[in-house]
Amino acid sequence: MFRAALLQLLHDRGALLLSLFVPAVFFLIFAEIFATAASDEVQVHVALVDEVRSADSISLLAALQREATVTIVPGVTDRATALDLVRRGTADVALIVRADGEALADAAGLAAPPLLILVDPSRSVAATVLSGQLQRAYFSALPDLAVGRVAELIGTEFTEFSAEQQAEIDSGLAGLRDSAGAGQRGGWSFEELLDRENVVGQTAALNHIAYYAGAVAFMFLMFASAQNAVGILDDQAAGILDRIAAGPGGIIVVLNGRFMFLVLQGMVQNTVIFCVAWLLYGVDVPGNFGAWLLISFCAAVLAAGLGLLLVTACRTRAQAQILPTVVILIMSAIGGSMVPRFFMPEWLQTVGWITPNTWVLEAYSGLFWRGETLQALLPGCAGLFLTGMLALAISYLLARRLVQR
């Protein structure tokens, strides 16, 4: 039986593919993702804007740029551009030395802090990393300011250094130590220099839910499309395709009928998933209904076309049960349907653009995450729709093989 099982596996290329090739590819993808996510050397892409251009700000930013873990996104000159880059994900975070805040040298917490970090809630870790690097740069580039602020702190908190005052200093330091131990802020902190602002109105959790709604929806749209499209091969085996192909409409009737059904099925699936996201988690589907409907329709067209293409590319039912599964699993892993794209290394994010999952996720993210307008979403939606129709057209050609023997 061992030999029989081995021979069967060797003769079944599909099973061989699923049992050996796919696990290896999955391992590679996830190893890359988690090696990056768990690495000590996180690279933070920062959009820098210096609205003040004082000697202090120039020194500070120069020191920050020397930090090994900071990569400066080039070509950023104003706050609006920086905000846009963070929204698009080109920059992880933006740092603004702002003109509408206090000066770096004498910030006293009386107005807006001199430094502003713009961050996407999904990448809040990037803001934390930048904050740490910024602190190091501050103390290395502007030590006089740092010490001055300590002296100011002493001047304001501890006046003269007599024996009696020394006792007060000791008492004050002990108090600061106690406060720090109790988790309370005491005295001056570097954080007073910093302000932090989310680039979108929603919370990180809500953004993640909107992301996953799109991610899960499209992956299952693809699976459901391919699964249903396999019915074409069942019809072929039963002779139904032969009968229909001899009729006035020919084989195109079969594909068009399936395609329309799959689009409708995809719309229903999208509706169910986003209704859950709206009703249970508050993702604002009603407030973005028109754009959501457009994206969902185009995503359903894309999934329907690709499902038909994957199945008509197969010659047997056995192939059609393996090939689409393999392709959809790999596309979903690379394209961000399983692990969010922003957890992936940059090269994998770039590779992800070849997958339709990424296109659909970017469209949904544009709407629910970055708050893009319907007009801004139109080119992406047109891409989804046209690719779906192209896949349908190719499946017309491939399906002719099914009835021409």
Partner 1 sequence: MPAALSTEALVVVQSAVRRFGSRAALSGASLSACRGEILVLLGPNGAGKSTLLRALCGRTRLDSGSIRIAGGDPAERAVRRRIGFVPQSIALWTQLSVRHNLELFGRLAGLKRAQLATAVADTLDWTGLAARANDPVASLSGGMQRRINIAAGTLHRPELLLLDEPTVGLDPVARSEVHQVLDRLRRSGMSLIMTTHDLVEAEALADRVALMSAGAIRAQDSLAQLIGRLFGSDQEVVLMLAAEPAPAIRDALRAARLSPTNEAQVWIGRLGSGLEQLPELRTQLISAGADIAELRIRQPGLHGVYIELTGQVPQE
210 binds partner 1 (CB under 8 A): no
334 binds partner 1 (CB under 8 A): no
* Cα 12 from Cα 4, distance rounded (Å): 12
Binding to partner 1 by CB under 8 A, coded x per residue (else -) over 247-266, reads: xxxx--x-------------
Contact 388, 298 (CB under 8 A): yes
Residue 388: CB minimum distance to partner 1, A: 24
Residue 365: CB minimum distance to partner 1, A: 41
Helix, strand, coil in percent for the chain, rounding step 5: 70, 5, 25
Q: Contact with partner 1 (CB under 8 A): which of 82, 193, 213, 245? A: 245
Q: Contact with partner 1 (CB under 8 A): which of 240, 276, 351, 386? A: 240
Q: Which is nearer to partner 1, 71 or 256 (CB)?
A: 256
Q: Which is nearer to partner 1, 60 or 245 (CB)?
A: 245
80 binds partner 1 (CB under 8 A): no
Q: Contact with partner 1 (CB under 8 A): which of 48, 210, 226, 244? A: 244
Q: Contact with partner 1 (CB under 8 A): which of 238, 260, 275, 393? A: 238
153 binds partner 1 (CB under 8 A): no
Q: Which residue has the tokens 């090994």?
A: 68
Contact 172, 93 (CB under 8 A): no
Q: Which residues contact 147 (CB under 8 A, 6 or more apart)?
A: none
Residue 71 burial (CB < 10 Å; 0-12/13-18/19+)? middle
Q: Which is nearer to partner 1, 132 or 247 (CB)?
A: 247
Alpha helices in 114-203 (DSSP H): 124-141, 143-158, 163-181
Q: What angle do CA 129, 37, 338 make, to 5 degrees?
A: 130
Q: How far is CA 310 from CA 215, 216, 257, 273, 324, in A?
A: 20, 20, 17, 24, 6
* Cα 194 from Cα 364, distance rounded (Å): 32
Q: Which is nearer to partner 1, 105 or 398 (CB)?
A: 398
Q: Contact with partner 1 (CB under 8 A): which of 13, 53, 185, 243? A: 243
* Cα 234 from Cα 230, distance rounded (Å): 7
* Cα 207 from Cα 119, distance rounded (Å): 13
Binding to partner 1 by CB under 8 A, coded x per residue (else -) over 178-197, reads: --------------------
Select the span of 20-28, 157-165, 235-243, 379-387 touching partner 1 (CB under 8 A).
Answer: 235-243
Contact residues for partner 1, defined by CB under 8 A = 238-240, 242-250, 253, 403-404
